[in-house]
Amino acid sequence: MSEMIVQCEGGVTLLGGGAAEAADIATALALAPPLVAADGGAETALNQGLMPLAVIGDMDSLSTEAQARLGPRIHRIAEQDSTDFGKCLQRVEARFYLCLGFTGLRLDHTLAALSEIAARPAQAVVLIAEDEVIFRAPPQLALDLPIGTRLSLYPMGPSRGRAEGLLWPLDGLAFTPAGRVGTSNSVTGPVRLEITGPMLVLVPKAHLTAVLAALVR
């Protein structure tokens, strides 16, 4: 069991060293003010004039200058069995997680981040990417989005489900990464999902607030 480094009653913003727009960081911090950086994400934070509560990771991407500025806020986790993103999710306890800077610059890091989300059914983890917000579907989800909104479903393992409020039905279908996937569906009304298995949901990032309300209600 990993020792908790940060504990928050509400949400927390996790910042990695990948692509993260200043406006998206500001949006995340407005919803989840505590900021925790994953390794090189601390450089992004400092460059934005932000000081994280903690920096968690193996510190292979953080400059000596940044480490000197951050001092005791640094929590070096040397093991290489998990990513820096995973190290944060293991050691930060919060009601929900808004995660930026874990996509965009390197495809391997993006794939690892998606795998981390898929593997954590008990945590409300929302990944804010360049154009979308991504999260693992809970067993039941009620999501209110404007009609015509693009909603994609991507299985990270064998998955099944049923849905209301989508143009293309899910009922009776078996989804797998190497078989049927559910990209580019469209909202026709209030969305109601029942999902078994590790299924990711992707919607335009303009709907972050609606996603968060659905996950933590």
Q: Which domain holds residue 96?
A: 6-130
Confidence (pTM): 0.94
Identify the CATH number of the domain in which residue 110 sits: 3.40.50.10240
Same domain, 15 and 120: yes
Q: Is 38 exposed, middle or buried (0-12, 13-18, 19+ CB in 10 A)?
A: buried
Identify the CATH number of the domain in which residue 166 sits: 2.60.120.320
- The 10s digit of each residue's pLDDT in 174-196 is 999 999 999 999 999 999 999 99
- The 10s digit of each residue's pLDDT in 114-158 is 999 999 999 999 999 999 999 999 999 999 999 999 999 999 999
Domain boundary among 130, 163, 184: 130
